[in-house]
């Protein structure tokens, strides 16, 4: 599991001097025929070969070779359990980081002066940590769902004492009393769950809360939820309290995707409005790149699948769009082609402590009309 702390380590890693680091994303999903019988190793080899062919000086090739050997040594004994293997390696400075992700990502290899974190950040950004409570009138279960994996936390809620059958003299009165007794217990149970949830939210660090289970219990829990938890609640679903982990995961993911898309639409909407008013926002490639060069971007938005070529200053790393000046405006250095300018833009924003959000579907279509890319600015 990639943790928040992992990401901080990766974000802050810079190869020393003009050193290189190898970034690898390898599809190892064993449900795909092509990856069986260690087919992923063939894909890895051809990827590394392609990277090698782009290296021109002997020193860089030598550095690359050290990393390739390291990767081969690791992969030889590696047994895939999830969908994607991530490796970041800087052999010269003894930096190595490897993890498996339960999410599918395309094969990618980069040998560059910085870690290629874009795909990883995109995945982490798309997946928040969800707390899911499954409740009925007598039971409650707690799950966390993160990066496509569900985990149950057993025994975190107390049980409601079972309602016992009584054979009273006057059955009707007894049953009414029983019903009141039962209702009282149900309410007590729901309140207990709500109360306990506050502590569990801190303990398991949910970004969002989802409530599922029996219709009535779900609605009762919503009513007694403390304000701080109400703000985290993004959806409810109906399932029997004894549902399987798979069922809980499926219902959670439906809510997750819808919430993420709605959030992206709101973001693009406010970006376009702010840019129109000239209120610390820009849209379009040229203005966005300029804002990045000036270090003003705090949140970069780009449409999924948007790509553009450009130029980068070979001295100071400033970025330029196709329509460029003769030499760098900041230092007078010469400009060299930068295929996939967006990756570089993302890296720059992230390394300056900014955020990056890839938007999809309707949000992407709306952003496309405003120039495919844009940013909220610090000033
Ligand atoms: Zn320059």
CATH of the domain at 117: 3.30.960.10
* Residue 106 falls inside a structural domain: yes
Residues 298 and 355 sit within 8 Å (Cβ to Cβ): yes
Q: Which helix (H) or strand (E) holds 229?
A: helix 227-230
Instruction: Tell me, yes or no, whether 352 lies in a domain.
Output: yes
Q: Would you say residue 175 lies in a domain?
A: yes
Residues in the chain: 379
Cβ neighbours around 310 below 10 Å, total:
22
Please report the pLDDT score of residue 162 as a whole number: 44
Ion ligand 1: residues, Cβ under 5 Å:
313, 315-316, 318, 328, 330-331, 333
The reply to whether 259 falls in a domain is no
What are the backbone dihedrals phi and psi of residue 326, each rounded to the nearest 5 degrees, phi first? -60, -50
Residue 371 and residue 287 share a domain: yes
Ligand 1 centre to CA of 345 (Å) is 15
The answer to whether residues 113 and 21 touch, using CB atoms and an 8 Å cutoff, is yes
pLDDT at 141 (0 to 100): 95
186 & 158 share domain: yes
- Give the distance (Å) from ligand 1 centre to CA of residue 115: 21
Q: Which residue, of 210, 243, 276, is where some domain finishes?
A: 243
Residue 318 lies in a domain: yes
For the chain, how many structural domains are there in total?
A: 3
Predicted pLDDT of residue 163: 46
Per the structure, the complete domain to which residue 370 belongs is given by: 264-377
Residue 255 lies in a domain: no
Alpha-carbon gap, residue 343 to 263, rounded angstroms: 23
CA of residue 331 to ligand 1 center, whole Å: 4
Residue 230 main-chain phi, psi, to 5 deg: -60, -35
pTM: 0.63
Last residue of a domain, one of 93, 126, 159: 126
pLDDT at 183: 72
295, 302 in Cβ contact below 8 A?
A: no
Question: According to the model, what pLDDT value does residue 160 have?
Answer: 45
How remote is the CA of residue 335 from the centroid of ligand 1, in Å?
8
In 82-214, which ranges are continuous DSSP H helix? 118-126, 171-204
Q: Give pLDDT < 70 ranges for the chain.
A: 1, 4, 125-126, 158-180, 351
Query: What tokens does 336 get?
Result: 């060299």
Q: Which long-range contacts (CB under 8 A, 24 or more apart) does 1-8 make?
A: 1/99, 1/146, 1/147, 1/149, 2/86, 2/99, 2/101, 2/120, 2/124, 2/147, 6/97, 6/99, 7/120, 7/121, 7/124
Same domain, yes or no: 227 and 315: no
- Phi, psi values for residue 203, rounded to 5°: -65, -45
Task: Say if CB 327 and CB 334 are below 8 A apart.
Answer: yes
Domain boundary among 126, 157, 192: 126
155 and 234 belong to one structural domain: yes
278 and 373, same domain (yes or no): yes
How is residue 170 written in tokens? Answer: 């006057």
Ligand 1 geometric centre to CA of 334 (Å): 7
Asked if the structure places residue 172 within a domain, the reply is yes
């Amino acid at each position: 599991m990639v943790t928040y702390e992992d990401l901080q380590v990766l974000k802050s890693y810079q190869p020393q001097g003009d050193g290189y680091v190898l970034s690898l994303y390898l599809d190892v999903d064993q449900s795909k025929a092509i990856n069986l019988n260690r087919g992923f190793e063939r894909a890895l080899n051809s990827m590394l070969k392609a990277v090698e062919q782009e290296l021109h000086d002997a020193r860089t090739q030598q550095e690359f070779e050290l990393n390739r050997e390291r990767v081969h040594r690791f992969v030889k004994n590696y047994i895939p359990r999830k969908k994607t293997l991530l490796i970041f390696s800087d052999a010269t400075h003894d930096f190595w980081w490897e993890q498996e992700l339960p999410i599918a990502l395309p094969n990618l290899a980069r040998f560059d002066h910085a870690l290629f974190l874009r795909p990883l950040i995109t995945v982490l950004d798309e997946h928040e940590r969800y707390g899911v409570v499954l409740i009925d009138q007598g039971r409650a279960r707690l799950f966390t769902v993160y990066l496509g994996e569900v985990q149950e936390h057993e025994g975190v809620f107390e049980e409601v004492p079972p309602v016992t059958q009584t054979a009273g003299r006057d059955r009707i009165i007894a049953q009414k009393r029983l019903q009141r007794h039962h209702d009282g217990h149900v309410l007590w149970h729901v309140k207990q769950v709500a109360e306990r949830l506050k502590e569990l939210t801190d303990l398991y660090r949910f970004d969002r809360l989802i409530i599922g289970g029996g219709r009535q219990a779900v609605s009762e829990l919503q009513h007694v939820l403390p304000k701080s938890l109400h703000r985290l609640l993004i959806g409810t679903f109906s399932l029997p309290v004894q549902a399987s982990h798979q069922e809980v995961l499926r219902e959670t993911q439906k809510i997750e995707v819808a919430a993420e898309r709605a959030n992206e639409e709101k973001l693009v909407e406010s970006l376009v409005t702010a840019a129109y008013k000239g209120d610390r926002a820009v849209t379009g490639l040229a203005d966005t790149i300029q804002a990045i060069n000036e270090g003003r971007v705090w949140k970069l938005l780009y449409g999924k699948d948007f790509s553009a070529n450009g130029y980068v200053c070979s001295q100071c790393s400033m970025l330029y769009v196709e329509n460029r000046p003769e030499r760098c405006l900041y230092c007078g250095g010469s400009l060299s082609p930068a295929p996939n300018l967006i990756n570089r833009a993302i890296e720059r924003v992230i390394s300056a402590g900014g955020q990056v959000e890839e938007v999809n579907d309707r949000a992407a279509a709306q952003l496309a009309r405003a120039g495919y890319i844009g940013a909220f600015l610090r000033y």
